[in-house]
Amino acid sequence: MDGLLKTRRYFFSRASATLGIPALASLLKGDLGAAETDTFPGLPHFAPKAKRVIYLFQSGGPSQLDMFDWKPALSGMRGKDLPDSVRQGQRLTGMTATQTSFPIAPTMYKFAQHGQSGAWFSELLPKLAGMADQLTFIKSMHTDAINHDPAVTFFQTGFILAGRPSIGSWLAYGLGSENKDLPAFVVMISQGTGNPSDQPLYDRLWGSGFLPTRYQGVKFRSVGDPVLHIKNPEGIDAGSRRRFIDELSELNNMKLADYGDPEIATRVAQYEMAFRMQSSVPDLIDVSKEPDRIFEMYGTESRRPGSFAANCLLARRLAERGVRFIQLFHRGWDQHNKLPKHIPGQCRDMDQASAALITDLKERGLLDDTLVVWGGEFGRTVYCQGKLTEDDYGRDHHPRCFTMWMAGGGLKPGVTFGETDDFSYNIVNDPVDVHDLHATLLHCLGVDHTKLTFKFQGRHFRLTDIHGKVVRPILA
């Protein structure tokens, strides 16, 4: 047994040279002479158009019918039952499965075309409408999941069951960070006014799954310290903390040499990152030097920490500092009833700040190499959930078709791709699934989605699993 243990230790001690040193490469590159970034071998596969992603995830399922997917023929069909030829016996959620009828609920909001592209926007989105020629629309998104948790999980990880790495973790693993003092993957969450009791979000959505845990997202909080334990305890100064980290790293590296456990390398890297963040994060979140015109551009809510507008402003500041993947979750879009009451405020939360983010990035020369993505986990049904009245309707989950938009690096601006039927119920042209979206995002970053892999339990896994094709018509 002792001989076997020695053999194992010898093997792992040799393996630690490939596990421990790269784990610190992106953090200690000045000391270790490492390359500029700690990346997956061979990346990028080709010249990237984008260096980073800001993903504005709208949790709850925004209604494409009330925002982007204009269906004028529905105005004369109000209250009529959705034809069986359209629904085609497709599955329903438990919330509408017992309904005896499915009355059509046309949007209450006026639509108009904007910009030279002629993109359709409802009156709920005046600021984004002004950005029409900057945006790239996909009207034909669809997904496999019909309920929130698996649907959000699918968008984040490429799989409907929990446990796979999130897209931000894949990019941190593949491309590393451009800034040794900040994480490659940062997450922020805001609560919208549309539905205060919206679906919960779990930390595993920005987890690293079977990848080493140093690739997981770092959540920034809006109350108290932005990152837990970022400050030194009382009586501990920066010099003492530096010595403590160095001595602890020595102990951890001794264990790493003995056992070769990559999670020990992760621990070393995370302690070092935490120390560096003690100086980088306070500077990042201090927006006091931003000019008044910036707050005016993002809206009054941008002065309130934790709001979507404030998080958009921080997203720009993170992009300036080279953070690879910045994800903003905005809750409040789950509008099964009282949609006309809830969606206007929810759109106000998002509209001005999203448009300001694009403008701000463009003014600073960052939009060309920053990919901004906006969308939720699925869309909403054309038929009313519950009782349809003169001034009220609700909409159920609809994975069959919904709208997303993007802007920035690698995409053709002012383009609309895909088409739905007259009911925004089925796709009639150019379907795009979640794997296709992921493949396209990776392509913009110079990554061939079939080649970014990680071996786990004897199999080489990837974000797109065995699926995915790049949506080339929208590429610049």
> What does the pLDDT look like over 353-408, one tens digit per residue?
999 999 999 999 999 999 999 999 999 999 999 999 999 999 999 999 999 999 99
pLDDT tens digits, one per residue of 454-463: 999 999 999 9
**Could you tell me which residues come within 8 angstroms of residue 151 by beta carbon, excluding any fewer than 6 positions away?**
61, 143, 145, 160, 377, 378, 397, 399
Q: Is the pLDDT reported for residue 37 higher than 60?
A: no
Condensed to tens digits (0 to 9), the pLDDT of residues 286-302 reads: 999 999 999 999 999 99
Q: By mean pLDDT, which of 106-120, 124-138, 238-252, 413-427 is the weakest?
A: 238-252
Taking Cα atoms as reference points, which of 353, 352, 381 lies closest to residue 66? 381
| 288 within some domain | no
With a cut of 50, say whether residue 251 has pLDDT above it.
yes
Q: Determine contact, residues 67/339, Cβ cutoff 8 Å.
A: no
- The model's pLDDT over 149-188, given as tens digits with 9 standing for 90+, comes to 999 999 999 999 999 999 999 999 999 989 888 999 999 9
52-94 per-position pLDDT tens digit: 999 999 999 999 999 999 999 999 999 999 999 999 999 999 9
Distance of alpha carbon 395 from alpha carbon 195, whole angstroms: 13
Residue 31 has pLDDT above 90, yes or no: no
Distance CA 46, CA 445 (A): 9
Q: Domain for residue 348, yes or no?
A: yes
**Is residue 218 one of the residues assigned to a domain?**
yes
What local confidence, expressed as pLDDT, does residue 51 receive? 97
Q: Is the dihedral of CA 338, 340, 342, 346 positive or negative?
A: positive
**Residue bearing the bigger pLDDT, 461 or 10:** 461
**Count of the separate structural domains present in the chain:** 1
Tell me: pLDDT of 3 over 70.
no
pLDDT tens for each residue of 430-456:
999 999 999 999 999 999 999 999 999
**CATH number of the domain to which 106 belongs:** 3.40.720
Structural domain boundaries enclosing 207 = 39-223+305-474
- The DSSP element (H or E) to which 57 belongs, if any, is strand 52-59
Nearest by Cα to 337 from 381, 373, 372, 276: 381
- The pLDDT value given to residue 217: 96
Q: Flag whether 300 is in a domain.
A: no
Do the domain assignments include residue 197? Answer: yes
Q: Is residue 260 part of a domain?
A: no
Across the range 259-288, mean pLDDT stands at 74
130 within some domain: yes
Look at 411 and 244; give whichever has higher pLDDT: 411
Tell whether omega for the bond before 165 is within 30 degrees of 0, i.e. cis.
no
Tokens representing 180 are: 């040794």
Q: Name the token pair of 60.
A: 């709850």
How far, in Å, CA of 406 to CA of 437, rounded?
A: 11
Q: Computed from CA positions of residues 214, 217, 219, 225, in that sequence, does the dihedral angle turn out positive or negative?
A: positive
When the pLDDT of each residue in the chain is averaged and rounded to a whole number, the result is: 89
- pLDDT tens profile 197-211: 888 999 999 999 999
240 is a domain residue: no
pLDDT of residue 250: 78
Percent pLDDT > 90 in the chain is: 75
Place of tokens 């990042």: 284
